[in-house]
């Protein structure tokens, strides 16, 4: 009888142990699945940050009135902006220039077409709204030449818009640096502004932007390496007579310009920076974008830490770890030595203006911030061309960088 009770007790203990093991295995499997899913999401986010991607559609073409030459788009915070813009499309045309808002309702915006659309032209519904406006340098009706700048990655194409005859382009030059996911064409809006100030424009490309040579992985370093291609452009400009260099950066181009200003071997020739919707601190930008995408803050934080590490570079498909501390110009504000004009809209839906405000507060002796309220991201010229032009012109003149004889 006692032996039978002992056997029952042993069976009970063994059964409890087996059940406990099953629970532990189930919990471990669930934990592994959660960790694996978290790792996959983190890697996906990290790769999205550094890998160039095709232009994403952000609006829909709802109607084209050929007789009235108008286009109706789905309404977004960008498509309802006043001003002149571009629209990347597919079908019979790949790009359209569009003008002022004619009417709008809760879901759509009708705008004037500035590119003629004919009746037999078919356009796909998906489209991307852009602030580029100009696509080709010929559209500016200014003299220019195609150039190639030798950098460490190879030959980087550039457009040179001189203000004088060959051999007479000394004085001040501006080197214009486009943003992430765009090309040199983004910068063309600014060329006439500098031309009117007597300043030669050099509109450059940099590694992995689709025009310049590709690195091993083809990934962005968020300004940490791209600035070296800009430094090569500064050296190229100096060899051709440039005495003073302005750097103008758009979005990530702002981060590149800031890195060049801090690291260039030609820092003494840099006379100032003009930055439109700039990335001043990448962690601020990525945290903002993570919230906009509905990502939990820990996922965004893990993605940043993953991008920082050299050992995770093969997994993130980057050329190396991203030095976020070095890219934080608010933290490095004390190292700045050049005057800076910041142009930023407080409703920027991609790069928040908070870091620009912080930099202006940290260095009021060097940094001037011109804020817009409803111009979105890198669309300040489009939204209020007169104010944008005047802000740059006034600042350039106050720095003594406009050519002699240029009217104020």
CA 331 – CA 335 distance, rounded (Å) = 9
The band of 11, judged by pLDDT with boundaries at 50, 70 and 90, is low
Burial 142-180 (b: 16+ CB within 10 A, else e): eebeebebebebeebbbbbbbbeeeeebebbbbbbbbbb
- Amino acid 45: pLDDT: 79
| From 305-309, 379-383, 394-398, the region with the lowest mean pLDDT | 305-309
For residue 324, is pLDDT > 70? yes
What is the domain partition of the chain in residue ranges?
59-130, 140-281+327-398
DSSP code of 55?
P
For residue 360, is pLDDT > 70? yes
Q: Where are the alpha helices (DSSP H) in 271-384?
A: 282-292, 297-308, 313-316, 354-362, 380-383
Task: State percent of the chain over pLDDT 90.
Answer: 77
Q: Please compute the mean of the pLDDT values over residues 364-387 and round it to a whole number.
A: 98
For residue 29, is pLDDT > 60? no
Nearest by Cα to 259 from 268, 271, 247: 247
CA 252 – CA 329 distance, rounded (Å) = 13
Q: Please compute the mean of the pLDDT values over residues 89-101 and round it to a whole number.
A: 93
Element (H, E) at 19: helix 2-50
Domain at 140-281+327-398: CATH code: 3.40.50.1820
- Positive or negative, the CA dihedral 206, 209, 212, 213 is positive
CA 240 – CA 349 distance, rounded (Å) = 39
The pTM is what? 0.90
Average pLDDT value for the chain: 91
Q: How do residues 278-295 score in pLDDT, each as one tens digit?
A: 999 999 999 999 999 898
Nearest by Cα to 182 from 249, 280, 104: 249
State phi, psi for 37 to the nearest 5 degrees. Answer: -65, -40
């Amino acid at each position: 009888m006692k032996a039978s009770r002992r056997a029952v007790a042993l069976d009970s203990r063994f059964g409890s142990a087996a059940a406990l093991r099953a629970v532990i295995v189930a919990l471990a499997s669930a934990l592994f699945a959660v960790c694996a899913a978290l790792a996959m999401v983190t890697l996906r986010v990290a790769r999205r940050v550094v890998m160039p991607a095709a232009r994403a559609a952000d609006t829909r073409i709802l109607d084209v009135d050929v007789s009235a030459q108008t286009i109706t788009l789905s309404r977004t915070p960008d498509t309802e902006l006043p001003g002149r813009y571009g629209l990347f499309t597919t079908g019979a045309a790949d790009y359209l220039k569009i003008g002022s808002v004619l009417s709008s309702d809760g879901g759509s915006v009708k705008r004037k077409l500035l590119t003629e659309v004919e009746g037999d032209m078919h356009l796909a519904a998906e489209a991307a709204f852009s602030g580029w406006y100009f696509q080709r340098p010929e559209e500016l009706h200014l003299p220019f030449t195609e150039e190639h700048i030798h950098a460490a990655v190879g030959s980087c194409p550039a457009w040179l818009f001189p203000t004088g005859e060959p051999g007479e382009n000394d004085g001040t030059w501006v080197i214009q640096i486009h943003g992430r996911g765009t090309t040199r064409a983004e910068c063309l809006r600014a060329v006439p502004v500098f031309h009117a100030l007597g300043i030669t424009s050099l509109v450059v490309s940099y590694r992995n932007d689709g025009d310049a040579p590709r690195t091993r992985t083809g990934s962005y370093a968020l300004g940490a390496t791209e600035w070296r291609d800009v430094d090569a452009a500064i050296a190229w400009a100096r060899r051709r007579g440039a005495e003073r260099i302005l750097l103008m950066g758009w979005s990530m181009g702002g981060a590149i310009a800031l890195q060049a200003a801090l690291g260039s071997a030609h820092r003494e020739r840099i006379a100032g920076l003009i930055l439109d919707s700039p990335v001043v601190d990448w962690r601020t930008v990525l945290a903002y974008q993570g919230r906009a995408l509905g990502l939990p803050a820990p996922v965004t934080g893990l993605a940043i830490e993953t991008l920082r590490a050299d050992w995770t570079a093969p997994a993130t498909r980057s050329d190396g770890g991203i030095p976020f501390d070095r890219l934080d110009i608010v933290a490095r504000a004390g190292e700045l030595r050049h005057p800076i004009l910041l142009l930023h809209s407080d409703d920027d839906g991609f790069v928040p203006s908070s870091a620009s405000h912080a930099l202006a507060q940290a260095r009021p002796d060097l940094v001037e911030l011109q804020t817009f309220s409803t111009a979105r991201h890198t669309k300040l010229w489009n939204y209020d061309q007169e104010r944008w032009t005047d802000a740059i012109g006034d600042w350039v003149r106050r720095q003594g960088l406009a050519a002699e004889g240029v009217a104020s």
